[in-house]
Structure 1
Amino acid sequence: MSTVAGRASRADAATPERRGVRLCRQWVRTGCAVGRGGSGGWLRFWALCVASAAVAVVALAAVATIATYDGRAARNQARGPVITERQRDAVGLWREGFDTVDKVPHSVVYLRPLKHGAQPPPGLTRWPAPGEVMLSPELVRAGRHEGITSRYGHYAGLIGRSGLVSPSERLAYVGPSHAPDPHERESWSYVRGFGQSYPMGDSLYTRPLAHALLALGALTGVPTLALLVVAARAGSPVPGRRGGPSPVPGGARPHRVAVRIGEAVRPTAVGTALAVPLMLAAMATDLRLPGTGYLLNGGDLRSAWPWMLATPALSFTVTLVAVAVVPRPERRGAVNGRRSPAGTVPRWRVAGCGLGLAAVAFSQYLVRAPGLCAFIGGTVVMWALLPSVATVASRALGAKLAAYGHRTGRPGRMIGGRWTVAHPGVAVRPFVALIIGLGLVCQLQIANSDVGEQAAAARATEARTGEGVLNVQSRDLRPPLIETLSRSLPAGSHVLGLTMDLDEQGALLQGSCRTLRLLGLGCPATPKAATGRDPRVTEIRDWYGPGLRVQAAPAELRLDRLRGSLLVISDGPAPRAEVERAAYALIPAVNVEALGETWLVGAGTKTRLNNWVLLFGSPGLAFLLLAGGFSAAAEFARVRHTLAPLAALTGSPTALRAAAGWHLAVPLLVSTVIAVAVTAWHAGSWPPCWGTGRTPGGYSPPHCAAAP
């Protein structure tokens, strides 16, 4: 008897807490019912569904980025050579060179074991034998058309995944065909193993993790937050509105929060679930990111599986918290469901936006720092004051539409125009989101495409001569090797020696009398100015300075080790593949490139950043447009009951649709056209002559000659 009484007393004591939990559940269920059948429920459902999917995708992208960088760092640490100065401790010789495929650079690592049974680098099952090469899968795929499998020697297999920082890395391990002689040994390093962080391969061109997260956050994360805020407010009933229904009559703030969460649970769950298949696909296999060509390592994501699995739940929670804390739209000063128009826009804002436009237009006539400051300053001022100008323009357009509708007896056009005057934000918000988002992406792309005058000159040279002149450069170019290389070149190839800035009198070009006469340079015994009119000589002179001199070479061609290189000139189509095979067979870490190719490789590396800008910026721009669209639709959903009697008053069932079209469709269409036009003009105003660098020989081609 006493036991039963004790249990009853404990149940009575827990009743308030249990009642609180049951009440909270009841409010959540009430919110679910409101979300299914309330005003604007369909709009709120889809807005929250899209916003929650966007939040989940961005959160997963951030976690995947961190996991990828961790995996890259671990593999780079494992494969890096441990350099030693003590030859007796060394297990092998190591030397790094560089080469390109399709103007994309990659590392070429030369290995030669010194001790039997020494462990090779990660990714290799054995050391490459003399004359063998092992390539990464991506390098084989990308360089097949350039004969990459035979460029450095006999192809002996692929590098394993453990030896690559990413599946898309381009890397080659080469076994030199002969042991380095004492003259070459100083260019090699002794290694006692592998397991130390070392910048090589893709690690040389990778931006820091902070830069990647900053780009993801600025270009994709911020638009996602804007979409989330709009979705949290879209389609929701206005609280406290006179005569309007309240889902929680007399309820406290926690009760209203519970109702909001109940409204958002179902669409948020659906949207979050939409991101899960993408996460599973990225973890199951290597995904190639669109536009960039980068292969995302699925193993890195699987190693971070606790974070990857927790991210959808975290993004689901964040979305619900945002719905709970974001205030509902209010009508301050509303009377009978109508809102008084906002105040007039100060004239100084319109004038300030005009000054920003003028600064952007004037910046193209300036160069270097003044032009950059004028362009950036004008852009910031223009974007900051653009909403005010857009508001003035939207109201002016609405007034003209209303006047025309009144004059022609079209009630839909008149009502739509008047609503545009009273609510200009419907068109202003999508317009500003579009022009700033599109403008930011375009400006970042243009900034990365501003490769300078040297790259422009290199492209022009490539268009004129192609690869008819190849530069072969190495510290190991000695007379015996030069003679052997000359004999191994394909028919129709001629070799010239080039020494840069000899005695500060200009570059010196040397070659046999036969080769010099073929180029129209005669056969001078002493150095004289190179005045030949052959197009190839003209290009050489443009790149290595107008002070280029020419001289007939002695019996044995000698080059300065640090400042000398060979020029291979072809009579017919450039046999670059044959020249590269001949050079790499004799000289490890040799560099073979066309005139100006260094600038093209650097410009290509910079330009490829545009692909990442597009990867991050395109979803961000789409989210901004969706936010503007949902905002406009929510605005009309809130006023549609006010406009409902329009059909009865006018006797036309199409009046409501006409008012919606003139209030939403026409202003949005006009704003889109204006946004595209302004963005195109803004992008075209980028100052064209900011480059200040010079060519390798110190000579700057005459680009932007009109600029001071």
Structure 2
Amino acid sequence: MTVGWHAGRSVRGGGLRFVALVCAAATLTLALTALVLSTAAYDGREQRSTARNPIVHDSDPSQPAVALWQASFDEIAQEQYSVIYIAPLSESAPLPPGLRTWPRPGQSVLSPALAERGASHGVLTRYGRASGRIAENGLADPDELLAYVRPADDRFIDREKAFTVNGYGAPGTMFGNNLNVESLKVLATTVLGLLVLPAIGLMVVAVRMGAEARRRRTVLLDALGASWTARTLVNCGETLLPAFLGTALGVAPALWASHINVTLPLTGYTVSSADVARSTAAWLIGALASFGVVVLTASVLHRVRRDGGTGLRAAGGRLPRWWPTVFPFAVLFTVQGPEPLSNGNTFLFLLIYSAGVALTMATLPSVIGLLIGLIGRALSRIGRRTGMSGTLVAGRWMAGNPGITVRLVAGLVIAIGLVGQVQLHSSRLSSEYAAARASADRLGDTVYTLTQPDPGDRTRAFLAELPSSVRAYSMTGRIDDNNRATVSVQASCAALKAIKRSCDHPAPFGVMDPDPRLSELANWFSGGTDIALRVGPVATAPATGDGRYLVLLDARGKPLPVDQIRRAAFTQLSPTPNAEIPGGSWLNGTVNRASRGAWVALFGMAGIAAMALALSLNSLAEFQRFSRSIAPLGVLTGRRRIFLATAAWTLLLPLLLAAGLGLLTNAWLATPLTNPIVGATLSTSVLASLTLTIAVIAFAVWLVGSISAIRVTDRWKPETD
């Protein structure tokens, strides 16, 4: 153990390998901790959701009923959340978890996140005056949007749709965030692919650094008669300290998050400190496992083989000449091949497309290596003509070792492709989702629909709260035996004139109407058939069994006062007004799906950083070997700028070239998925995050490489080699 402790710092590049092992242990610990905390977050959310779910009285009529309970939905910035109307049936009725006291009639209790985000939208008075905040034990997540509302009159609650409840604690998912979150399997797969695998790659690279020196040491120990146990202890002694430091760094965020709620960047998701603290034993075991894996891997990869060597050897720089020629055919096959070859079969389309993507990403690093070789030859000619020694030396090294460049960029390119594909597949929308998004872009807030209740006095009270410029229409629909929709609209004469219709014989409207608001209504509610118009009072429109809606338009064609409409709807019209633009229910789904991109960006940036760090550290080790060979040049000339130039050409350029070509190739490969049939979208935020991450790492590697090369030159002394 003592031999290993000192040996790791006495060989060349020992300091760089020490840093690499620290980073590897930290990254692996962080990745496994993220996996453990993902499970803990889902368990905590399920426990808190179960604790607040109402126990329906009909499921156990022998118990006394304590409250009326009715769930509804509302939205802020197209993000949907639950609104719960509740009224106690006795003074001793138990409170829902998270509430300290019953709100008075006409008051609401909001979650902290809803009160903060919705203040500018009038949420503090939308359901009645907000009288308090929901405690964290009553929320699925600390940042959940949720409101409990006690109406001014208990009769406002719809007895046919509401539940009479005995208490709280029913299992399952009934309301709140759990209705919209992805399954744990999806999140765990994302963490495994974008965090754990790059962390393992970084660990392998860190262990393999300084391979030649450790190979000689292992062979020497074997020749001296050292047993397998002794050689293993030497390797453990070398690895223990960096592995311990890295594990401590990797587990530090979890220790912090166990004492305070932490909001994750990009996603805005707040991790519950209670969930983290409750799973302390699990993530500490994960940290211990990470420590053991790093130490064990270092020992296994340094084992002696039967031929007298070890599993570690310094890699060469040769590059197969034919491999880059596959790349253009792989791109062409991926972009143009899936659609004609699949013949409309979605599974076969995705299978062919995935195979093409894998082949493209496998061959792209060799193309970059070929480009680096060509650039190297050009640089050597330029350096020879201009007398720029750094350019000349770097050019010759690049031209002679393209395989090293391939290893530098291969993992980075694969990571970019993996993140890009995960983002694309997570953003795929069905035709209904895509149509809802397009409709929202065309309409904005110029038209709103609400579910109209039967009592006419509620409709009149609601309309009295609206501005004078808002026109109301009652739309009723019926589905006949042939599954055909028959829709009609009834409104006052003034309202019909606002949409340019006469009061005597108002013409129907359809999907081709010049008014885009009317055409969208026909498209979403009548299945493309014309909608009939008639004159009559809105509050007493004839009811049908298939739905009745209030349609609101502005007489001047301007956007509607949405916040004022929602306040009037939730206090005067109904607990479940379903206030939305046409196709709004589908639009909420697009918002939920779009939030996946933020998670992909978060884990993707972390995975890219880990992969880029692994490759950069490996490249720095290669550059240190290279800089030792040109150290006499720096000593004899007395110029240190030569190392800035050589590091820029051999480290910075390949990383930036890989980032540029990787992102460009990802954009090419996205075209089959971004067509309207498949419905995926390319996220500019994810691409920008990846570009920024790689650029920062590339410049950091260039700076560290230059400084390390200068330090090598400062310590260089002539040797008899």
Partners in 2 of 1:281 and 1:242 — Cα distance? 41
Q: Distance in 2 between matches of 1:412 and 1:227?
A: 30
One-letter code of the match for 1:567? V
1:496 matches 2:473:
yes
Tell me the secondary structure at the aligned position of residue 213 of structure 2.
Answer: coil
Task: State the Cα distance separating 1:591 from its structure 2 match.
Answer: 1.1
In the aligned structure 2, how far is the partner of 1:621 from the partner of 1:651? Answer: 38
Name the structure 2 match of 1:318: 293
Instruction: Name the CA distance, whole Å, in 2 between partners of 1:686 and 1:457.
Output: 17
Take 1:61 and 1:35, find their aligned partners in 2: how far apart are those partners?
A: 31
Q: 1:189 aligns with which of 156, 163, 166?
A: 163
Q: How does 1:93-104 map to 2 (within 5 A)?
A: 93-104=68-79
Which blocks of at least 5 consecutive residues in structure 1 are unaligned? 1-27, 694-708
Using the size of structure 2 for normalisation, the TM-score is: 0.81
1:147 Cα offset (Å): 0.7
Residue in structure 1 matching 2:33, options 60, 75, 78? 60
Distance 1:150 1:653 in 2: 68
**Aligned twin of 2:122:** 147
Deviation of residue 339 (structure 1)?
7.8
Which of 283-292 and 110-119 deviates more?
Answer: 110-119
Q: What is the alpha-carbon distance in structure 1 between the residues aligned to residue 390 and residue 564 of structure 2?
A: 75
The 1:478/1:560 distance shift into structure 2, 3 A limit, reads farther
For the 8 Å contact 2:219–2:308, the answer to whether it is kept is: no
Matches within 5 A, 1:206-605: 206-241=181-216, 249-327=224-302, 342=318, 344-345=320-321, 347=322, 349-350=323-324, 352-362=326-336, 369=346, 372-395=350-373, 397-398=375-376, 416=394, 419-420=397-398, 423-451=401-429, 454-455=432-433, 457-473=435-451, 476-503=453-480, 504=484, 506-523=486-503, 528-529=508-509, 533-544=514-525, 545-555=527-537, 556-571=540-555, 573-586=559-572, 587-605=574-592
Deviation at 1:279, TM superposition (A): 2.4
**Gaps in structure 2 of 5+ consecutive residues:** 681-721
CA RMSD of aligned residues (A): 3.7
Distance 2:153 2:51 in 1: 28
Structure 2 CA distance for partners of 1:246 and 1:96, relative to 1, 3 Å: same
Give the C-alpha shift of residue 402 in structure 1: 6.0
> Residues 267 and 440 (structure 1 numbering): CA distance in 2 closer, same or farther, change over 3 Å?
same
Identify if the C-alpha distance between structure 1 residues 671 and 247 changes in structure 2 by more than 3 Å, giving closer, same or farther.
Answer: farther
Q: Are 1:615 and 2:597 matched, yes or no?
A: no
SS in 2 for 1:593: coil
Contact 2:509 2:522 in 1 (8 A): no
Equivalent residues in 2 for 1:155-174, closer than 5 Å: 155-174=130-149
Q: Deviations over 1:425-467 (max 9, x none)?
A: 3211232222221222223223334445555554554455432
Which has the larger displacement, 193-202 or 302-311? 302-311
Tell me, yes or no, if the aligned pair for 1:478 and 1:559 is still in contact at 8 Å: no
Distance 1:492-1:397 versus aligned 2 partners, 3 A rule: closer
Q: Which residue of 2 aligns with 1:124?
A: 99
Give how far 1:195 is off.
0.8
Output the amino acid matched with 1:439. Answer: G
Letter in 2 for 1:540: L
CA offsets 1:237-272 (integer angstroms, 9 cap, x no match)? 434559997799542332222222222222223222
The alpha-carbon deviation at position 412 of structure 1 amounts to 6.5
Matched with 2:24 is 51
Would the aligned equivalents of 2:446 and 2:553 in 1 still touch at CA under 8 Å?
A: yes
Evaluate the alpha carbon distance shift between residue 676 and residue 460 of structure 1 in structure 2; reply closer, same or farther with a 3 A threshold: closer
The Cα of 1:180 is off from its aligned counterpart by 4.0
What TM-score does the superposition give when structure 1 sets the normalisation length? 0.83
- Greater shift after overlay, 370-379 or 66-75? 370-379
Maintained 8 Å contact 2:66/2:93: yes
User: How far is the alpha carbon of 1:542 from its aligned partner?
Assistant: 4.1
User: What CA distance in whole angstroms lies between the structure 1 residues aligned with 2:43 and 2:337?
Assistant: 43
Match of 1:625, SS state, is: helix
Deviation of 1:490 after TM superposition, in Å, equals 2.6
The equivalent of 1:689 in structure 2 is: 676
The DSSP-based 3-state class of the residue aligned with 1:266 is: helix
Deviations 1:273-316 (A, max 9, x none): 32344223201110011111111111111222333444444332
**Secondary structure of the equivalent of 1:500?**
strand
Q: How many residue pairs were aligned?
A: 660
Per-residue deviation, residues 338-386 of structure 1 (Å, max 9, x unmatched): 98765745x4x54543332002332697788375454333212212344
Higher-Rg member (1/2): 1
